[in-house]
Structure 1
Amino acid sequence: MAETKYEKYIIKEPLYKSERTGMQVIHVCGEDDCAGAIFQDFPADITGTYISEPFIMTSEPHAHNYDQFLCFFGGNPLNFFEFDAEIELSLGEESEKHLIDTTSIVYIPKGLMHTPLEFKKVNKPVLFMHICFAPQYERVGGFSEEPPHRKLPKFSLEEIKS
């Protein structure tokens, strides 16, 4: 419970551990029954996590009915341009491949097919965030499975650190 009038607007939770990477994730959204649903009718879906080893985040191309940003920052908090990773992102119906090898923010307009998204080489951790301009993360066009965060319970900060 908030101790001051506006403390409720400072989001310190929910946190969960990614089933795929084991890394801590902070997430907030407006989706009913999601670990990130803190505020009713929250107008966005925001997720942030560190990536410390290669893996395929999303393998099937898809689009969204809203705009989205994909953010890739070097993991050094004193210099987020210190970036030592190679990430491959496909964009468009023709799956045009792009190499992300420096701190970048990628704008994904509503309806643009995108992914696979593969972290091919990770020599230093990368802070990855997605910002979706809708309260609930939804995919259209080709993706068959539910996003993994829908199945996860909300954890306290103490639980996630253990």
Structure 2
Amino acid sequence: MTKRKWEHLIISPDYVPPVLDDIRDDKGDIKTGRTLGQTYSSSDLFPDCKVNMSLSWFYEIPNKNPYVDEHVHDVDELVFFMPSFNDREDDVNAQWGEADFYIEGEPYTITRNTCIYCPAGVKHCPIVYKKIVRPHCFMTILLDSEYVREQAGKIVKNIGGKFVEAGEVKR
């Protein structure tokens, strides 16, 4: 079959279906309550891509809570909390649960469909889950070709779905 001009811009990555009883984090430890992150946009998947997008589904409070430690990026990031749909109520505005999302050390309580804009250079997280009453999608969009963050004095990159220390922060 002849290769089409734009087919390289369309992907359907094969991911192992998540099994809640046997989800392991990047260190091999069992984690419950969420699916492992799946990256749908990065320079690994699209060489010319300048946006990194990944998501996880949360079903219950994760074992690691607070989830995601305080960190900062050199570029803007969007963080989304989106409830699942059940066709029984106003799904778009449905409360999925409750979590505190920290920006520069200030907690903001998130309970429903929410997008948080984190400008470059602004410290954000941790995320502290208090309750989950329905599954929700947690999605991040980083305006860079790869996921890189500064956390606890280290540069951390997401490489192949694992968070890997990539050096010390130089001041």
TM range, normalised to the smaller chain?
0.7 to 0.9
Instruction: Choose the corresponding residue for 2:146, options 136, 144, 156.
Output: 136
**Which has the higher mean CA deviation after the structures are superposed, 70-79 or 21-30?**
21-30
User: Structure 1: which 5+ residue stretches go unaligned?
Assistant: 31-36, 154-162
TM-score (norm 1): 0.74
Task: Say whether the 8 Å CA contact 1:85–1:122 is kept in structure 2.
Answer: yes
2:87 equivalent to 1:74? no
Distance 1:14 1:46 in 2: 16
What is the total number of aligned residue pairs between the two structures?
143
Deviation, structure 1 residue 26: 3.0
Identity %: 20
Q: How do 1:67-106 and structure 2 match up within 5 A?
A: 67-76=76-85, 79-92=91-104, 95-106=105-116
| 1:42 is the counterpart of 2:49 | yes
Which fold has the larger relative contact order, with Cα–Cα distance below 8 Å and residues 6 or more apart in sequence? 1
Q: Give the partner amino acid of 2:42.
A: C
1:15 aligned partner:
15
Compare CA radii of gyration and give the structure with the larger one.
2
Distance in 1 between residues matched to 2:48 and 2:78, nearest whole Å:
20
Contact 1:89 1:99 in 2 (8 A): yes
- Residue 167 of structure 2 corresponds to none
CA contact (8 A) 2:149 2:155 kept: no
Shift of 1:2: 8.8
Deviations 1:67-119 (A, max 9, x none): 00001111117533222210111101xx0001001110000000000111122
Q: What CA RMSD, in Å, does the superposition of the two structures yield over aligned residues?
A: 2.8
Mapped partners of 2:119, 2:2: distance in 1: 37
Moved more, 114-123 or 72-81: 72-81
**What TM-score does the superposition give when structure 2 sets the normalisation length?**
0.71
- The offset of 1:23, in angstroms, is 1.4
Give me the whole-angstrom Cα distance separating, in 2, the residues matched to 1:2 and 1:140: 44
Q: Quote the Cα distance in structure 2 between the aligned partners of 1:91 and 1:121.
A: 20
